[in-house]
Amino acid sequence: MSNSESSRVAAEKPRGFADRLGKAASAEERVVEAVGRVYEQWGFDRLETPALEFTEALGKFLPDLDRPNEGVFSFKDDERWLSLRYDLTAPLARFAAEQWQTLPKPFRRWAGGPVWRNEKPGPGRFREFWQCDADTVGSASPAADAEIVALACAAVEAAGVARGNYVVKVSSRKLLDGLLELVGVPQSAQSQRLVVLRALDKLDRLGAECVRALLGPGRKDESGDFTQGAKLEAAQIEPILKFATASAETPTPDRILGLWNEVSPDFKVAPDSIADAGVKELAQIFGLLQTMGYLDGRVQLDTSVVRGLEYYTGPVFEAQLIGGGGANFGSVGGGGRYDDLVARFTGERVPATGFSIGVSRLAAVKERLGWGEVVAANAPVVVLALDGDRIGDYFGIAQELRDVGIRAEVYLGGAGMKAQLKYADKRDAPIVVIQGGDELAKGTVTLKDLKLGAQLAKDLGEDREAYAKSREQAQREVPRGEVVAAVQQMLAR
Amino acid sequence: MSNSESSRVAAEKPRGFADRLGKAASAEERVVEAVGRVYEQWGFDRLETPALEFTEALGKFLPDLDRPNEGVFSFKDDERWLSLRYDLTAPLARFAAEQWQTLPKPFRRWAGGPVWRNEKPGPGRFREFWQCDADTVGSASPAADAEIVALACAAVEAAGVARGNYVVKVSSRKLLDGLLELVGVPQSAQSQRLVVLRALDKLDRLGAECVRALLGPGRKDESGDFTQGAKLEAAQIEPILKFATASAETPTPDRILGLWNEVSPDFKVAPDSIADAGVKELAQIFGLLQTMGYLDGRVQLDTSVVRGLEYYTGPVFEAQLIGGGGANFGSVGGGGRYDDLVARFTGERVPATGFSIGVSRLAAVKERLGWGEVVAANAPVVVLALDGDRIGDYFGIAQELRDVGIRAEVYLGGAGMKAQLKYADKRDAPIVVIQGGDELAKGTVTLKDLKLGAQLAKDLGEDREAYAKSREQAQREVPRGEVVAAVQQMLAR
């Protein structure tokens, strides 16, 4: 291995990926653990699938098309294309199709872990992030959707969001599909419908004016990139926008049809139309949620919710965090019904519905808002290594501390006392354990309380005499056999 | 989305990858949690790095070269090659080089998660598996190696292996390097040395005869594939094999030099040679391990341990599981010192040493041997849904059970009583909760103990009368308000 200047490798990672150390690490795992416990409690079984799948098994349903391989990390292996999973739903569909004969039906499963998107990286926009999903496969009943919505509430609360700080918004693709039918964008105009869908999904972020442009000729963003629009005419655009921007509310089931009529008075719902089916399903879902007591602000109807993923076929859900005064901190999860995903494999329609918590996004928002639990700073006690020939003894002291549950480590560098104390400071150590030649001769050790020492130094300022005295206060010499008890006592005070 | 026969996608996953459901899921995470707790306790901080890195940042150190891209899943992104990490050490080296200025030094970190190898899949040979590592970066001291070996013991025990059922074997690359120097394979013959290394690493699996061929002209395996050998002559091969097959023992530090002289009597260790340095380091490591009490069978010297990864530069470790009578169940982890890995980035040598538990392999071996803890079967109570209009009530019963900590779910399909009971059986439900029209009129529910019912049916065989009576025993009708208490009582018996 050559270390010459010319052959040096850059110490860098790809953009859109992050390192996390210490307390910042495993934030996602803690959320998955807490949410997973709730999913389990509701009868969902955990499923783990591989990070890599055949590209064709995952399908292409992502809203972002600004990358060459359509938002997915893909590569060729033995003449077949493999991709990193971009969500946990597509692998579930593959699994359910593969194992359908042996599964209990309907099949409830949950999953949690990282997913990867090959999107344009940007501030706060990562290409590796965690999700935690619950899905019911094999039930077409609106009861399955209602259960998923109720479970979404329980899951968001388990992730540490207080009731009142979130709302799960519900709508249905069928309402939008029905309206598109009525304004003259038939189901056969599939790619045009997709552009409409993705435009509406940006309503929250871009506002009505930009979305109007995206429904029409298109729009140039700040970076100068032009996004093609859906090329609809004003007479088509306005009812769609009016429908999508109808204000959120918590309707009783019998109010749902009325709401649709209010926001689209010129486009009546025909009996047995797709919009009619959507209205009836929503009414059933809200009926059940009312029975279960979830219409107390936790769940609302919101016609602006469409979700960007192509595979949804009916009800769609989105969990948003809200602050005091109703400030909206954005989406932290979503889901919906996707009745055609398993049929890609089997040819037979298998109804399915589910919800996904954006674990990384939720963790980031919680941290930004200061909602996160303060993780106890569990910094280690540092045993100094003043005599290189006595490392074994220092290891022994550290092990005694660990044996009673105290995190402890021995300094392993070759530096002197001052540098070792600096290391302990950097480790945020509460206490250092010192046994130099003097202590060894007396059979003692010195314990230094770095927290108390720093506090006293700060309180006393320039008073040298008091400072000298404070050093005594923050420092104790105890017999070697009493180290553990003394450290326990100092940590407790 | 077309579901026609011709466009159907195969429901399959790439070979060498696995799905795991229910109790089989998260076995790896439980091991990482237990082992991570020990690593934390010893002062190591958790580090999470991305699954994807720049290919050149990971380097090429894998022993398996039988795949086009040398064992790594790689693909091109924006004109640069990215790879899935093949271990947790290479990303640590990248991170340490990137963050060296700000880290406490020496830097102790642990990491746990999946890694990917693009190897030939085979029975029990996966291309996605978990590791859990602890590493110390920035200390050249043998004390750092000794600490890692001791920690490896604690980690293997935390993963559920009893003391006496494992051994951590220790050797040093420097001994082998010194011997190769003496038999005329100089350090400049790097690729030849690599072939020797990889041949010796297979000693356990292939035996001395095959390794002799691999050190010489080469070897054809059962599948007919030919592996090129190191092309050494017999006079070179025999001392190498003699050295590598020297039996394992637990030497005292002063016995280490003697051992080397015994196994290679014709090749004396010259003062200040690389072998001399290796012997002295090992003596220090074993001295510390003796002080700490680890030479009680937990740690042994074994000259056959070389480890397949190219980047090791000094001491190497391997943890093996052993059964009664000393049966060897194979390696479940390994590590060593790799002083040049960070220098690839910085140009300056940063000494480092570490250990990695093969989490997936350990979990698989434990399961095969029946050493695994039996995870409590936590099957859900199933609430039957006999009346489609009353799903909300059934949801209510399930929620009441969850509220006291009982896992519960409502049947969500459209089937009748018999199919619902069959579903409950498939879910392994201990109890089903039934409220049909009769019970509703009386304000009661029926609770069926499926476990007791199955036991009685088995005990009674053909006795119809007793069987009818047993059905009463396994079934209770209770007032609706007493469901939770009654289920708790039945679960407790």
Per-residue pLDDT of chain B (493 residues; tens, 9 = 90+): 444 445 788 999 998 999 999 888 888 888 999 999 999 999 999 999 999 999 889 887 665 444 445 688 988 777 788 999 999 999 999 999 999 999 999 999 999 999 999 887 777 778 999 999 999 999 999 999 999 999 999 999 999 999 999 999 999 999 999 999 989 999 888 889 989 998 998 888 888 999 999 999 999 988 888 989 999 999 999 989 988 887 667 777 777 777 777 766 777 778 888 988 999 999 999 999 998 999 999 999 988 898 877 789 999 999 999 987 777 888 999 999 999 889 999 999 999 999 999 999 998 888 888 776 544 458 999 999 999 889 999 999 999 999 998 999 999 988 899 999 999 999 999 999 999 999 999 999 999 999 888 888 787 777 777 777 777 788 999 999 999 999 999 998 7
Is A129 within 8 Å of A359 (Cβ atoms)? Answer: yes
Distance CA A439, CA A273 (A): 88
Which chain B residues contact residue A139 at CB under 8 A? Answer: 412-413
Residue with tokens 């910094």: A379
From A287-301, A365-379, B360-374, B442-456, the region with the lowest mean pLDDT: A365-379
Nearest CA in chain B to A342: B11
- Predicted pLDDT at B262: 72
pLDDT, chain A, mean: 88
- Predicted pLDDT at B62: 62
- Residues A267-282: what's their mean pLDDT? 87
Residue with tokens 């790439």: B14
Look at residue A61 and tell me whether its pLDDT is greater than 50.
yes
Record: fold of A13-369? BirA Bifunctional Protein; domain 2 (3.30.930)
Look at residue A330 and tell me whether its pLDDT is greater than 90.
no
Nearest CA in chain B to A82: B14
Distance CA A147, CA B395 (A): 8
Residue with tokens 């979700």: A307
- Kindly indicate the confidence band of residue A37, based on its pLDDT and cuts at 50, 70 and 90: very high
- Predicted pLDDT at B205: 85
Distance CA B26, CA B8 (A): 31
| ipTM of this complex | 0.86
For the record, the structure tokens of A408 come out as 């402890």
Residue B40 at interface with chain A, using a CB cutoff of 8 Å: yes
- Do the chains contact at A12 and B54, CB–CB below 8 Å? yes
Chain A window 366-385: which residues touch B at a Cβ cutoff of 8 Å?
378, 380, 382, 385
Distance CA B132, CA B333 (A): 9
Chain A window 227-286: which residues touch B at a Cβ cutoff of 8 Å?
none
Q: Where in chain A is the domain with CATH 3.40.50.800?
A: 381-492
Is B394 within 8 Å of B410 (Cβ atoms)? Answer: yes
Q: Where in chain A is the domain with CATH 3.30.930.10?
A: 13-369
Look at residue A57 and tell me whether its pLDDT is greater than 50.
yes
Residue A10 at interface with chain B, using a CB cutoff of 8 Å: yes
Nearest CA in chain B to A404: B41
Look at residue A366 and tell me whether its pLDDT is greater than 90.
no
Q: How far is CA B243 from the centre of its chain?
A: 30
Q: Answer yes or no: is A284 a known binding residue.
A: no
**Cα dist. A282→A173, A207, A301, A341 in Å?**
11, 26, 9, 21
Q: Collapse the DSSP code of B101 into the 3-class scheme (helix H, G, I; strand E, B; otherwise coil) and give the result.
A: helix
**Cα dist. B457→A40, A358, B469, B475 in Å?**
30, 48, 10, 13
- Predicted pLDDT at B190: 86
Look at residue A377 and tell me whether its pLDDT is greater than 60.
no
Q: What is the largest CA-CA distance in chain B?
A: 96
- Do the chains contact at B11 and A52, CB–CB below 8 Å? no
Residue type at position A67: R
Residue A77 at interface with chain B, using a CB cutoff of 8 Å: yes
- Predicted pLDDT at B4: 47
**Which CATH architecture describes the domain B381-492?**
3-Layer(aba) Sandwich (3.40)
Look at residue A470 and tell me whether its pLDDT is greater than 80.
no
Look at residue A4 and tell me whether its pLDDT is greater than 50.
no
- Residues A254-276: what's their mean pLDDT? 77
Nearest CA in chain B to A28: B48
H helices of A79-170, where?
89-99, 142-158
Residue with tokens 């056969």: A188
Distance CA B156, CA B158 (A): 5
- Predicted pLDDT at B68: 43
* Residue in A8, A17, A19 to test binding to B, most B beta-carbons within 10 Å: A19
- Do the chains contact at A10 and B345, CB–CB below 8 Å? yes
Task: Enumerate long-range contacts of B347-350, CB under 8 Å, 24 or more apart.
Answer: B347/A3, B347/A4, B347/A5, B347/A8, B349/A3, B350/B96, B350/B97, B350/B100, B350/B137, B350/B138
- Predicted pLDDT at A423: 93
- Predicted pLDDT at A374: 45
- Predicted pLDDT at A464: 74
Number of residues that make up chain B: 493
- Kindly indicate the confidence band of residue A187, based on its pLDDT and cuts at 50, 70 and 90: confident
